[in-house]
Structure 1
Amino acid sequence: MPAIFSRPFRSHGVKASYADFILSILRANPSLRDTKSYLASFGHHQPERTKPSDLLDISTILPPTGQQEKESPKLTTEPLKTSPVISSILNPIYRRTALVKLQGPFTDKQLDSIARGMVFLEKLGLVSVMVIEHDKLARGDEGERATIIEETMRVVSVLEAHGAKARPVLGTVVRLGPMPRDREDPAAHDVPPPEAHVFPTDLVPIRSSLRAGEIPVLPPFALDSFCRSVRIDANDVIAALPPDPHADYSEDINLVPLRLMIINREGGVPSYARSGYPHLLINLSSEYDFIRDTFEPSWLKERPSALSNLRLARTCLSYMPPASSAIMVSHRSSSSLIANLITNKPAVSSSLPHALLQGNRKLAPETPTLIRRGQSIQVVRSLAHVNRAKLTHLLETSFGRTLDVAPFYERLEKYLDFVIVAGDYVGAAIVTNEPGPDQCSPPISYLDKFAVLPSHQGDGTVDFLWVALHDETYGLGHPFSVNPNGGKEGKGEGRDLVWRSRADNKVNRWYFDRSSGHMRMGSWVLFWCDAEKRLKQEESQRADSGLSYVESWEAGRLEQWADVVTTIPSAWK
């Protein structure tokens, strides 16, 4: 990722911690897909007018071949080397913008850590538009305005002390009240419109600051109907910034926000499934109402702004590009912002087995919560309610093969248990009830297909889909399986989930992490996930002795599964 190190810190008087910076990148451990996605957004972009073919055609200055050999025997056809300066002009780092809510007040040490993270992000191509909040300053306090401005200038000073350029934008940028067009028909929006708005001319100071390479820092001020500058909630200021239909582009910076970052003292949104520890990943399209309704009143003491920040994320992401995400993070975890920028993933995958999540050292009260617009999730139990054309397109596009349509759907007519559909068939998990090896054996819960469109592999859909699959099969019976996906909502007994994958499938590494075990069968690998409720009951009965290597109820099941799975016909032509 050479673009990352192409610019030094601006302040020569600051001993910038390159070691911390590099370690933060390495800890992110980005996959090849993560790296490609990052470079697509922040990598080198070559302006159209400077295509190499338009700059210089060597054939126009070299003599004919024969004459070249006589007159210039030492001339070679090696590519011309371009100076680093010219390369940086022809291939600029394409910068994106982030909206940042700085929910203080913070101590000098805390603010120092946050500022360092902001400077690191800028080096990676993400320029912040920061809005200050002061939770401990009540509305209407004496000296309120002076205190807010002083806090704004303090943030600017700390950023500059770390080598960044920062500009305080003390004039009012936003106006109170919804946008005039939103007042006329508020019901036309799936998400309530912001309580403040901006006009294109209001954004001139922010655009000017960004183009000058400066981080704009805004106090939470707005113009009321009498053109007075008043303090409002920082959430209203931030929510008013994304919906800018006149947002323009320059050659090296995209002014449409790509990230929303909420940096506070609380951390992420607490989850009922993690005993109040934060959610790892939130799918707003299917989980927002459920999270709000199951929020424990006792959590308000430690995380009083969790729901209001979640509402802010929902508002902003409804206007931001589909690939955008929001992160709620404690000042203690500011380095995780780098990992989030590069991978656009949570600190730990939410689709990992709960036993691994519960013992993971990365999970703490201040673990960040990643929030995405996400996809709706629905569980369909009848093939009559499945859109076969869309499902076929999904499977063929995802696997890159041609489906043998007639026999595939004939098989599903006999054995289908359910289909989990993400969004408008951007992803699906098909589970069947396969007959056991004999009449006395219970049916086998078999994952027939798990598919996500390539365009959605990396936007959280895979994890959202697998979590729903967990809730409907091997996770049933646990309180953390009570999710609003239209399925059983945690009621019932969990069942072992079995599936097979070709031995050379690149996805197997992902399956290894999520399965209870696997067994090689020639050119295939058999995977399974044990019913979690049964495992927990078995462990509790044995107290400290733990489970043996092979329990009595496990004896022979692998052979039975293998016998059944190997007879399932291929779905492809």
Structure 2
Amino acid sequence: MIPNPSPRVAAALRAQRSHTFKAFYATIRGAKPRPHEPIEDGPPADNDFILSILRTNPSLRDARSYLASFGLRPQSPPVQSKDAKIPNVVPSVEDTVQVNKAITPVEEPKPSPVIASILNPVYRRTALVKIQGPFTENQLDSICRGLVYLEKLGLVSVIVVENEDRSPGQEDERSAIIDETMRVVTNLEKQGSRARPIVGAVVRLGPKPDDTSEPGFEPPETHTIPSDLIPIRSALNAGEIPVIAPFALDSFCRSVRVDANDVIAGLTRGMVEVASSESPQREVPDGDLKFSGEVDLTPLRLMIIDRNGGVPSYARSGYPHLLINLTSEYEHIHDTFTDQWAQLNPSALSNLELARVCLHYMPSTSSAIMVSHKSPSSLIGNLITNKPAVSSSLPHALLQGNRSLTPHTPTLLRRGLPVQVLRSLGDIDRAKMTTLLEQSFKRTLDQEAFYSRLSKVLDYVIVAGDYAGAAIVTNEPSSSGGEPISYLDKFAVLPNHQGDGTVDFLWVALHDESYGLGHPFSANPNGGKGGKGEGRDLVWRSRADNPVNKWYFERSTGHMRMGPWVLFWCDAEKRLKIEEGRRGSAGLSYIEQWEEGRLSDWGKVVLKVPSSWK
């Protein structure tokens, strides 16, 4: 029995008694692994395209984001000419007819929105794709089928072909790489698309003449001028997928074989610059819908398709990273990359560098994906949701037992944001923190009371970027006089950063500083404890009607409803691991000795935390 529980806590415990506390631990201890996704080397089903879309299971936010990128664009209404003026004389009937004919604008027939949307349903965007073979015919069929499906959804691929078996310097390398390019073209057309081989050089060797080096970033080894992109634009405007051989012009204007990464990096920068220079002419005010065959040259995605898939992760025993924050994790991934992984996936680090360079020039909402030829439908999932195949912020107990995680699971990469841990109230920029909290929660912060409370109980604050997101953790005094309770006071992300990976980056950093502390996979470079120390249970509350609760349910160890609130918690993973090892095959019970009475303690403390809002 719990000694002297408060009436609200006692009522909540009585309501849950029939469940014998099993529901609290359903998230991890009773979790069922997700079904294994099919490997797609075989022939497709007749409804494969529809099934590929349905497997993505997009949320309402995902659907809105997709439509924002690929939906129809507005077009300004026709403007009447102001030059035609009515003469200052009394006209005859015949003259009136003539004048009216002169000043009446000729309205061109407009297509019906329904008919036009059927003929051209989406606003087309581009993706840069590296096909890194060699592949068998079946494997290439699977890859090209996925790219054709993307084209149907509005994402047109600009493909650069690479063949690892034909390294630069071989005698027949030029003819071999042209043959490989033609193989891809032939296969795309076999899948029902139209493709155009481009075997002339589209990039130039050497840095751009006006390049200025940035600290910590090296510009591409190649560059383009606008006229170099004419073959690509011609193919795109003709409704064809350009398939490019990896050649470049040297200083003597000779076409030479180069690494496909250099071609893609130079193309990324060139396409972004050309598109941005044209955007003012292409912007139009609100008006009628625009049904145009024009293709936006700004790359929306970078896709790297090879035989190995994503970047091996120290946190998943060599299985691929799910989501990479390049700004904060790039150096750490290099430092933890083992020789064994270099043998199994020799191009992982070079592809990681390619993604870093390309995303430096691409819009902040863009992403890169490394995917194996065995799961091309994951490209459709990435296009519609712009999320990893499995969320990286899910509990490790779920990720480690999830059969959908394989050596071929894709890695999603984003430019990301720096992540830092602040342990003093004086280090917090109060103005930016206040703006973040008020925009995220859409409420007015009681600043004096909020920061006065933090001065007494603050443990640490994790900040993403320039206050694009933050997690505030406090030490709340225990009602039983024991160790302070680690309480997640605020978890906030700016609205314009929700859906760009910031939420997952922030939660992973929170995991590494709290309940995940003490494990090797928590040694991420977030400026905190580097994985060293003892993990603590993390507790927080949320309104019962909060739409974010579904996300919390998936990431918590358990929860308990307490009137208008839901109490969530995450168990310290290191303690659970030690206990499981001590018990061996017996496994954990639903209520351990060290867990008795903690729900009552948490409930008493958490429900008394004062509101931060006016």
Does the alignment reach a TM-score above 0.5?
yes
1:97 equivalent in alignment to 2:126: yes
1:196 equivalent in alignment to 2:215: no
Distance 2:399 2:390 in 1: 8
Partner of 2:365: 323
Distance 2:183 2:363 in 1: 32
Distance 1:470 1:126 in 2: 35
Partner of 2:199: 170
Partner of 1:546: 587
Q: Once the 2 structures are TM-superposed, how far is the Cα of residue 146 of structure 1 from its aligned partner?
A: 0.6
Unaligned runs of 5+ in 2: 1-42, 80-109, 283-291
1:142 equivalent in alignment to 2:188: no
Partner of 2:101: none
Q: Report the residue type matching 2:245 in the other structure.
A: P
Distance 2:47 2:613 in 1: 50
SS of residue matched to 2:296? strand
CA contact (8 A) 1:285 1:374 kept: yes
Once the two structures are overlaid, the 10-residue window that deviates more, 138-147 or 523-532, is 138-147
Partner of 2:28: none
Equivalent position to 1:337, from 356, 361, 379: 379
Partner of 1:557: 598
| CA separation of 1:425 and 1:18: change in aligned 2, threshold 3 A | farther
SS of residue matched to 1:158? helix
Distance 2:170 2:138 in 1: 26
Partner of 2:8: none
Q: Report the residue type matching 1:132 in the other structure.
A: V
Equivalent position to 1:228, from 254, 272, 289: 254
Q: Once the 2 structures are TM-superposed, how far is the Cα of residue 81 of structure 1 from its aligned partner?
A: 11
| CA separation of 1:83 and 1:516: change in aligned 2, threshold 3 A | closer
1:406 equivalent in alignment to 2:448: yes
Partner of 1:206: 232
Partner of 1:365: 407
SS of residue matched to 2:334? helix
Q: Once the 2 structures are TM-superposed, how far is the Cα of residue 540 of structure 1 from its aligned partner?
A: 0.9
1:117 equivalent in alignment to 2:158: no
Distance 2:173 2:63 in 1: 45
Distance 1:92 1:523 in 2: 45
Partner of 1:151: 180
Distance 2:55 2:365 in 1: 23
Q: Once the 2 structures are TM-superposed, how far is the Cα of residue 376 of structure 1 from its aligned partner?
A: 0.5
What aligned pairs does 1:501-516 form with structure 2 within 5 A after superposition?
501-516=542-557
Q: Once the 2 structures are TM-superposed, how far is the Cα of residue 246 of structure 1 from its aligned partner?
A: 2.1
Distance 1:215 1:486 in 2: 44
CA contact (8 A) 2:440 2:493 kept: yes
Equivalent position to 1:522, from 559, 563, 578: 563
CA contact (8 A) 1:493 1:533 kept: yes
Q: Once the 2 structures are TM-superposed, how far is the Cα of residue 181 of structure 1 from its aligned partner?
A: 1.1
Partner of 1:240: 266
Partner of 1:3: none
Partner of 1:76: none
Distance 1:493 1:83 in 2: 61
Q: Deviations over 1:80-118 (max 9, x none)?
A: 9947424457x7510110000000011100000001000
Q: Deviations over 1:281-326 (max 9, x none)?
A: 0000100000011100111111000000000000000000000000
Once the two structures are overlaid, the 10-residue window that deviates more, 250-259 or 19-28, is 250-259
Q: Deviations over 1:93-151 (max 9, x none)?
A: 10110000000011100000001000000001000000000101122212111111111
Distance 2:195 2:77 in 1: 31
Aligned pair count reads 526
1:456 equivalent in alignment to 2:456: no
CA contact (8 A) 1:45 1:92 kept: no
CA contact (8 A) 2:538 2:570 kept: yes
What aligned pairs does 1:414-429 form with structure 2 within 5 A after superposition?
414-429=456-471
CA contact (8 A) 1:220 1:237 kept: yes
Partner of 2:54: 26
Identity of aligned residues (%): 69
Q: Report the residue type matching 1:231 in the other structure.
A: R
SS of residue matched to 2:210? helix
Q: CA RMSD in A?
A: 1.6
CA contact (8 A) 1:99 1:260 kept: yes
Q: Deviations over 1:243-270 (max 9, x none)?
A: 1322246744211101000000011000
Q: Once the 2 structures are TM-superposed, how far is the Cα of residue 45 of structure 1 from its aligned partner?
A: 2.2
CA contact (8 A) 1:46 1:92 kept: no
Distance 2:305 2:234 in 1: 25
Q: Deviations over 1:460-517 (max 9, x none)?
A: 0000000000000000000000000000010100000000000000000000000000
Q: Once the 2 structures are TM-superposed, how far is the Cα of residue 212 of structure 1 from its aligned partner?
A: 1.0
Q: Once the 2 structures are TM-superposed, how far is the Cα of residue 424 of structure 1 from its aligned partner?
A: 0.3
Q: Once the 2 structures are TM-superposed, how far is the Cα of residue 50 of structure 1 from its aligned partner?
A: 7.5
Distance 2:552 2:251 in 1: 57
| CA separation of 1:571 and 1:87: change in aligned 2, threshold 3 A | same
Distance 1:298 1:266 in 2: 14
Q: Once the 2 structures are TM-superposed, how far is the Cα of residue 47 of structure 1 from its aligned partner?
A: 2.1
Q: Once the 2 structures are TM-superposed, how far is the Cα of residue 16 of structure 1 from its aligned partner?
A: 8.6
Distance 1:413 1:551 in 2: 35
1:392 equivalent in alignment to 2:434: yes
Partner of 2:397: 355
Partner of 2:97: none
Q: Report the residue type matching 1:271 in the other structure.
A: S
Q: Once the 2 structures are TM-superposed, how far is the Cα of residue 356 of structure 1 from its aligned partner?
A: 0.1
Q: Once the 2 structures are TM-superposed, how far is the Cα of residue 158 of structure 1 from its aligned partner?
A: 0.3
Distance 1:436 1:316 in 2: 50
CA contact (8 A) 1:191 1:314 kept: no
Distance 2:244 2:215 in 1: 28
1:531 equivalent in alignment to 2:561: no
Q: Report the residue type matching 1:554 in the other structure.
A: E
Partner of 1:374: 416
CA contact (8 A) 2:480 2:601 kept: no
1:437 equivalent in alignment to 2:479: yes
Distance 1:38 1:84 in 2: 20
Distance 1:428 1:164 in 2: 46
Once the two structures are overlaid, the 10-residue window that deviates more, 448-457 or 136-145, is 136-145
Q: Deviations over 1:512-537 (max 9, x none)?
A: 00000000000000000000000011
CA contact (8 A) 1:377 1:422 kept: yes
Distance 1:322 1:49 in 2: 32
CA contact (8 A) 1:16 1:162 kept: no
What aligned pairs does 1:77-96 form with structure 2 within 5 A after superposition?
82=112, 84-88=114-118, 92-96=121-125
Distance 2:426 2:590 in 1: 43
Higher relative contact order, chain-length normalized (CA < 8 Å, sep 6+): 2
SS of residue matched to 1:46? strand
Q: Once the 2 structures are TM-superposed, how far is the Cα of residue 542 of structure 1 from its aligned partner?
A: 0.7
SS of residue matched to 1:498? strand
Distance 1:320 1:199 in 2: 17
Once the two structures are overlaid, the 10-residue window that deviates more, 252-261 or 508-517, is 252-261
CA contact (8 A) 1:482 1:489 kept: yes
Distance 1:211 1:361 in 2: 43
Unaligned runs of 5+ in 1: 1-14, 52-79
CA contact (8 A) 1:191 1:318 kept: no
